[in-house]
Structure 1
């Protein structure tokens, strides 16, 4: 059974403008309004409630070197999200986390590490692999989550409660970055499998999903999906849209293939502030309803 968890955190994103607040915190309720919870409830899913984050602060003027923005709040939210995920997993349910930004992967990683670790399939239009070893601009965990998840970040983010790495790099598959991604060669050298969006389009979702699932492991994996893997012509309501992404049908097919083997999933970076009439929320609900209806079924059977 699927348990829906709302995690309306925007703590890992840079502000869209100085002093402003990213809109991703509104995504869970925007998707609820568009019918997401009703669709999944009709399939037997339960509503696991909300993991509420602390206040977002644009701390660029006060943050000291060696720290990410909203660091204390982000770590505290990650710990509480991990507890809720562990509760769902312990009862045999597959948690579906509706974010929020992709720093939510840290909470999923903590939960995974505490239960004995699983693999990771990271579906994202970017590699999200900025870290202190390759950049002097580390500040926003939403662009650094994959690096942190395999242990390549400051310990305050990558080694919470001494659990680093949250996921083994050799059991991590990334899917969906664009051809100009700056960190792609480093990612290829470190992860078990890396597949750009162009390969998904050329080879088909089934082939890419099967290869990725094989790398992530037979004992299940966490499925992290950042909706900017979609092409901006399909989904412009994201923080960093880049051309060359997947169609709605391609992402649906990819999720449909990956969902059964996942122990849970997180959906991130949809920004309702960029969707004034709700059309992209409704599209995303259609994709998730069709693509994730079998989430966790392989492990439950």
Structure 2
């Protein structure tokens, strides 16, 4: 069984303009309007409700050095999301978290660490590996979530409740970055497996998914999917579109292969403000319905 959890958080993103608010917080309801919950309910999924974040604040003028934007609110939301993910897992359900930005990975990671730790398959058009050790511009967890998830960030976010690392680097597989990603060499040196988008295209989704699942572990893994892994010609409604991504069919095939072995999944960074007529929300619903319908069905732990 799948439990849908809405997590309309934009706390980890920089504002699109000074004083403005990122649109990703609207994604869960935009996808609901496009039919996501109806589709999954027809397959037996339950609606687990909403995990609301605190108000987004553009705090660039007031934030002290050594802190990420919206830090206190982000940590609190991560804890509450973790609790809801844990509840779903304890009930024998596979949580499907609909975000929101990819800082939601922290909440999933806390739940994973409390459960006894699982692997991670991270599907994203970027490595999200900026951290204090490689950048002087660390501030937005949405671009730093993978680094934080394996313990490479300030302890306030990478070691919430003393649980760092939320995922072991050796059991983490990343899929989907572009060839010009600045952190890709560091990621290759640290993670269990790293596969750029071009390799998914060249090798096929099945081969990449099989290799990634083997690294993340046979006892289940968390599946994080940032929709900017899609090429912008397919999905421009994201905050950082980069050419060289996957087609809708390629992402669907990848998710279809990965979903059964996942204990749960999170879907992030779709921005309805960049989708005024709803066409990209409808496309994303088609991808998720076809790709994630078997979420958690091969997990035995």
Q: How does the TM-score come out when normalised to structure 2?
A: 1.00
Q: Deviations over 1:211-263 (max 9, x none)?
A: 00000001100000000000000000000000000000000000000000000
Residue aligning to 2:206: 206
> Where do 5+ consecutive residues of structure 1 fail to align?
none
Answering whether residue 152 of structure 2 is matched by residue 152 of structure 1, we say: yes
* Structure 1: 4+ residue segments shifted above 2 A: none
Distance 1:115 1:38 in 2: 30
Residue aligning to 2:118: 118
Distance 1:29 1:126 in 2: 25
Secondary structure in structure 1 of the residue aligned to 2:224: strand
Residue aligning to 1:89: 89
Decide whether the 8 Å contact of 1:255 with 1:292 is kept in 2. yes
Q: Pairwise mapping of residues 220-231 of structure 1 onto structure 2 (< 5 A)?
A: 220-231=220-231
Decide whether the 8 Å contact of 1:120 with 1:172 is kept in 2. yes
Q: Pairwise mapping of residues 187-206 of structure 1 onto structure 2 (< 5 A)?
A: 187-206=187-206
Distance 1:291 1:97 in 2: 15
Secondary structure in structure 2 of the residue aligned to 1:298: coil
Residue aligning to 2:281: 281
Residue aligning to 2:216: 216
Give the number of aligned pairs: 301
Q: Pairwise mapping of residues 63-142 of structure 1 onto structure 2 (< 5 A)?
A: 63-142=63-142
Q: Deviations over 1:180-201 (max 9, x none)?
A: 0000000000000000000000
Residue aligning to 2:259: 259
Decide whether the 8 Å contact of 1:192 with 1:215 is kept in 2. yes
Decide whether the 8 Å contact of 1:92 with 1:300 is kept in 2. no
Distance 2:198 2:44 in 1: 35
Decide whether the 8 Å contact of 1:150 with 1:158 is kept in 2. yes
Distance 1:219 1:109 in 2: 16
Residue aligning to 2:29: 29
Decide whether the 8 Å contact of 2:219 with 2:300 is kept in 1. no
> Where do 5+ consecutive residues of structure 2 fail to align?
none
Decide whether the 8 Å contact of 2:176 with 2:200 is kept in 1. yes
Answering whether residue 273 of structure 2 is matched by residue 268 of structure 1, we say: no
Decide whether the 8 Å contact of 2:24 with 2:100 is kept in 1. yes
Residue aligning to 1:42: 42
Distance 2:281 2:91 in 1: 30
Secondary structure in structure 2 of the residue aligned to 1:297: coil
Distance 1:115 1:284 in 2: 30
Task: Return the offset for 1:18.
Answer: 0.3
Distance 1:164 1:279 in 2: 39
Decide whether the 8 Å contact of 1:173 with 1:194 is kept in 2. yes
